[in-house]
Structure 1
Amino acid sequence: MVPDSVTGLVQGVGFRYFTVTQARRLGAQGWVRNCSDGSVELEAQGSSDAVQALVEQLAIGPRWSEVSHVAVHNMPIIDETARAFGVRQ
Protein backbone atom coordinates (compact mmCIF):
# COMPACT_ATOMS: atom_id res chain seq x y z
CA MET A 1 0.00 0.00 0.00
CA VAL A 2 1.35 3.40 -1.01
CA PRO A 3 -0.29 6.75 -0.29
CA ASP A 4 -0.87 8.46 -3.62
CA SER A 5 -2.73 11.71 -3.10
CA VAL A 6 -4.51 13.65 -0.40
CA THR A 7 -7.43 15.97 -1.11
CA GLY A 8 -9.25 18.60 0.92
CA LEU A 9 -7.79 21.74 2.46
CA VAL A 10 -4.19 20.49 2.24
CA GLN A 11 -2.27 23.40 0.72
CA GLY A 12 -1.21 26.48 2.63
CA VAL A 13 -1.61 24.69 5.97
CA GLY A 14 1.82 23.05 6.40
CA PHE A 15 0.72 19.70 5.02
CA ARG A 16 3.97 18.95 3.16
CA TYR A 17 6.06 19.76 6.25
CA PHE A 18 3.73 17.62 8.36
CA THR A 19 4.07 14.74 5.88
CA VAL A 20 7.88 14.95 5.86
CA THR A 21 8.01 15.08 9.66
CA GLN A 22 5.69 12.10 10.08
CA ALA A 23 7.37 10.02 7.37
CA ARG A 24 10.84 10.57 8.81
CA ARG A 25 9.60 9.79 12.33
CA LEU A 26 8.15 6.53 11.06
CA GLY A 27 11.18 5.59 8.94
CA ALA A 28 9.48 5.88 5.55
CA GLN A 29 11.26 7.10 2.44
CA GLY A 30 9.80 9.00 -0.50
CA TRP A 31 8.57 12.44 -1.47
CA VAL A 32 5.62 14.85 -1.31
CA ARG A 33 4.57 17.81 -3.50
CA ASN A 34 1.68 20.19 -4.10
CA CYS A 35 -0.41 19.73 -7.26
CA SER A 36 -2.04 22.44 -9.33
CA ASP A 37 -5.51 21.07 -8.52
CA GLY A 38 -5.06 21.83 -4.80
CA SER A 39 -4.24 18.27 -3.75
CA VAL A 40 -0.98 16.91 -2.38
CA GLU A 41 0.74 14.05 -4.20
CA LEU A 42 3.22 11.67 -2.59
CA GLU A 43 4.98 8.36 -2.77
CA ALA A 44 6.18 6.56 0.33
CA GLN A 45 7.91 3.28 0.91
CA GLY A 46 9.11 1.41 3.93
CA SER A 47 7.83 -1.32 6.20
CA SER A 48 4.13 -2.05 5.90
CA ASP A 49 3.67 -0.85 9.49
CA ALA A 50 5.44 2.45 8.74
CA VAL A 51 3.44 3.10 5.58
CA GLN A 52 0.14 2.19 7.27
CA ALA A 53 0.94 4.53 10.17
CA LEU A 54 1.79 7.30 7.69
CA VAL A 55 -1.53 6.83 5.89
CA GLU A 56 -3.32 7.10 9.23
CA GLN A 57 -1.47 10.34 10.05
CA LEU A 58 -2.20 11.77 6.59
CA ALA A 59 -5.92 11.19 7.16
CA ILE A 60 -5.66 13.38 10.27
CA GLY A 61 -3.28 15.99 8.82
CA PRO A 62 -1.84 19.03 10.55
CA ARG A 63 -3.90 21.30 12.77
CA TRP A 64 -5.28 23.68 10.11
CA SER A 65 -5.94 21.11 7.39
CA GLU A 66 -9.23 19.45 6.48
CA VAL A 67 -8.49 16.13 4.82
CA SER A 68 -11.36 14.78 2.74
CA HIS A 69 -9.66 11.73 1.17
CA VAL A 70 -6.37 9.84 1.15
CA ALA A 71 -5.98 7.72 -2.01
CA VAL A 72 -3.70 4.70 -1.71
CA HIS A 73 -2.60 1.95 -4.07
CA ASN A 74 -0.17 -0.96 -4.13
CA MET A 75 3.02 -0.75 -6.15
CA PRO A 76 6.41 -2.42 -6.07
CA ILE A 77 9.31 -0.71 -4.30
CA ILE A 78 10.84 1.66 -6.81
CA ASP A 79 14.20 2.43 -5.27
CA GLU A 80 15.79 0.10 -2.73
CA THR A 81 18.34 2.83 -1.89
CA ALA A 82 15.82 5.61 -1.29
CA ARG A 83 16.94 8.32 1.10
CA ALA A 84 15.10 10.40 3.65
CA PHE A 85 11.62 11.63 2.88
CA GLY A 86 11.61 15.08 1.22
CA VAL A 87 9.64 17.73 -0.70
CA ARG A 88 9.63 17.80 -4.51
CA GLN A 89 8.73 20.85 -6.53
Structure 2
Amino acid sequence: MTLVDISDVALERAAAAARQAGVPLRVERVDVEEAPLPPGPYQLVLCMNFLWRPLFEAIPRVLEPGGLFVFAQPTRSNLQRNPHPSARFLLTGA
Protein backbone atom coordinates (compact mmCIF):
# COMPACT_ATOMS: atom_id res chain seq x y z
CA MET A 1 0.00 0.00 0.00
CA THR A 2 1.28 3.46 -0.89
CA LEU A 3 0.10 6.76 0.58
CA VAL A 4 0.86 9.94 -1.34
CA ASP A 5 0.37 13.34 0.29
CA ILE A 6 2.06 16.72 0.44
CA SER A 7 1.60 16.96 4.22
CA ASP A 8 4.45 15.64 6.33
CA VAL A 9 2.08 15.59 9.32
CA ALA A 10 -0.46 13.43 7.46
CA LEU A 11 2.26 11.07 6.27
CA GLU A 12 3.74 10.71 9.76
CA ARG A 13 0.33 10.08 11.34
CA ALA A 14 -0.58 7.49 8.71
CA ALA A 15 2.78 5.73 9.04
CA ALA A 16 2.44 5.58 12.82
CA ALA A 17 -1.12 4.22 12.61
CA ALA A 18 -0.05 1.63 10.03
CA ARG A 19 2.87 0.49 12.20
CA GLN A 20 0.60 0.19 15.23
CA ALA A 21 -1.90 -1.86 13.20
CA GLY A 22 0.83 -3.99 11.63
CA VAL A 23 -0.10 -2.85 8.13
CA PRO A 24 2.72 -2.38 5.62
CA LEU A 25 2.59 1.16 4.25
CA ARG A 26 4.96 3.07 2.00
CA VAL A 27 4.57 6.83 2.26
CA GLU A 28 5.69 9.32 -0.38
CA ARG A 29 5.68 13.07 -0.03
CA VAL A 30 4.50 14.28 -3.43
CA ASP A 31 2.91 17.52 -4.52
CA VAL A 32 0.73 16.10 -7.28
CA GLU A 33 0.14 19.61 -8.60
CA GLU A 34 3.87 19.73 -9.42
CA ALA A 35 4.98 16.12 -9.84
CA PRO A 36 3.46 12.98 -11.37
CA LEU A 37 1.83 10.27 -9.34
CA PRO A 38 4.12 7.39 -8.41
CA PRO A 39 3.98 4.78 -11.17
CA GLY A 40 1.53 1.96 -10.68
CA PRO A 41 -0.05 -0.22 -11.40
CA TYR A 42 -2.41 0.05 -8.45
CA GLN A 43 -5.54 -1.98 -7.80
CA LEU A 44 -7.16 0.97 -6.07
CA VAL A 45 -6.61 4.73 -6.14
CA LEU A 46 -8.44 6.59 -3.40
CA CYS A 47 -8.69 10.38 -3.51
CA MET A 48 -10.22 12.06 -0.47
CA ASN A 49 -10.94 15.76 -0.08
CA PHE A 50 -8.60 16.87 -2.84
CA LEU A 51 -9.94 18.42 -6.00
CA TRP A 52 -7.35 19.11 -8.66
CA ARG A 53 -8.89 18.38 -12.00
CA PRO A 54 -5.67 17.61 -13.94
CA LEU A 55 -5.19 14.67 -11.58
CA PHE A 56 -8.11 12.90 -13.27
CA GLU A 57 -6.06 12.56 -16.45
CA ALA A 58 -3.30 10.72 -14.57
CA ILE A 59 -5.51 8.16 -12.83
CA PRO A 60 -5.97 5.77 -15.80
CA ARG A 61 -2.19 5.61 -16.27
CA VAL A 62 -1.58 4.32 -12.74
CA LEU A 63 -4.56 1.97 -12.36
CA GLU A 64 -4.14 -1.65 -13.32
CA PRO A 65 -6.72 -3.04 -15.75
CA GLY A 66 -9.94 -3.49 -13.82
CA GLY A 67 -8.66 -1.28 -10.99
CA LEU A 68 -10.92 1.08 -9.07
CA PHE A 69 -10.81 4.84 -8.61
CA VAL A 70 -12.74 6.09 -5.56
CA PHE A 71 -13.23 9.83 -5.20
CA ALA A 72 -14.90 11.57 -2.24
CA GLN A 73 -15.14 15.32 -2.24
CA PRO A 74 -17.17 17.78 -0.16
CA THR A 75 -19.21 20.49 -1.83
CA ARG A 76 -19.15 24.22 -1.18
CA SER A 77 -21.94 23.75 1.37
CA ASN A 78 -19.17 22.33 3.58
CA LEU A 79 -18.04 25.94 4.13
CA GLN A 80 -21.19 26.54 6.20
CA ARG A 81 -19.76 24.16 8.82
CA ASN A 82 -16.02 24.39 8.34
CA PRO A 83 -13.67 26.93 6.71
CA HIS A 84 -11.45 24.16 5.31
CA PRO A 85 -10.76 23.05 2.70
CA SER A 86 -10.87 26.28 0.76
CA ALA A 87 -13.51 26.82 -1.93
CA ARG A 88 -11.04 26.01 -4.72
CA PHE A 89 -11.03 22.39 -3.53
CA LEU A 90 -14.83 22.09 -3.24
CA LEU A 91 -17.48 21.10 -5.75
CA THR A 92 -20.56 23.15 -6.39
CA GLY A 93 -23.53 21.27 -4.98
CA ALA A 94 -26.86 20.97 -6.71
Give the structure-2-normalised TM-score: 0.30
Higher strand share: 1
RCO higher in structure (CA 8 A, sep ≥6): 1
Structure having the higher Rg? 2
Give the structure-1-normalised TM-score: 0.31
